Amino acid sequence: MLFDLASRGVRCIPSATAQLTSRSKRYQALTLSPWMLPETTVVYDIHQLLALCNHYHRKSITTVVVKQEGKNGGVGILRYGSIEDVFNQAASDCLVFPFILQPFLDNSVDMRVIILGPYKEAYRRVNPHCFRNNLHCGGTAEPCDLSDPAEQLCREVMARADCPYGHLDLLLAPQGKIYLSEINLRGGLRGAKISTPEYRRRVTDIENKLLEKMMPRL
Look at residue 6 in the predicted model and tell me its pLDDT: 83
What does the domain layout of the chain look like in residue ranges?
Answer: 38-104, 105-218
| 197: three-class secondary structure by DSSP | helix
Whether residue 134 is predicted with pLDDT greater than 70 in this model: the reply is no
CATH code matching the domain that covers 105-218, chosen among 3.40.50.300, 3.40.50.720, 3.40.50.10140, 3.30.470.20: 3.30.470.20
Q: How far apart are CA 19 and CA 12, in angstroms?
A: 9
What integer is the mean pLDDT of 153-182? Answer: 96
Q: How far apart are CA 75 and CA 68, in angstroms?
A: 9
CA-to-CA dists, residue 209 to 108, 152, 158, 204, angstroms: 37, 23, 17, 9
pLDDT in tens, 170-210: 999 998 999 999 999 998 898 899 999 999 999 999 999 99
Look at residue 217 in the predicted model and tell me its pLDDT: 57
pTM for this model (two decimals): 0.90
Which residue has better confidence, 215 or 24? 24
- For residue 128, what are the contacts with CB-CB under 8 A and spacing of at least 6? none
- Asked if the domains at 38-104 and 105-218 fall in one CATH topology, the answer is no
CATH code matching the domain that covers 38-104, chosen among 3.40.47.10, 3.40.50.300, 3.40.50.150, 3.30.1490.20: 3.30.1490.20
Largest Cα span, the chain: 56
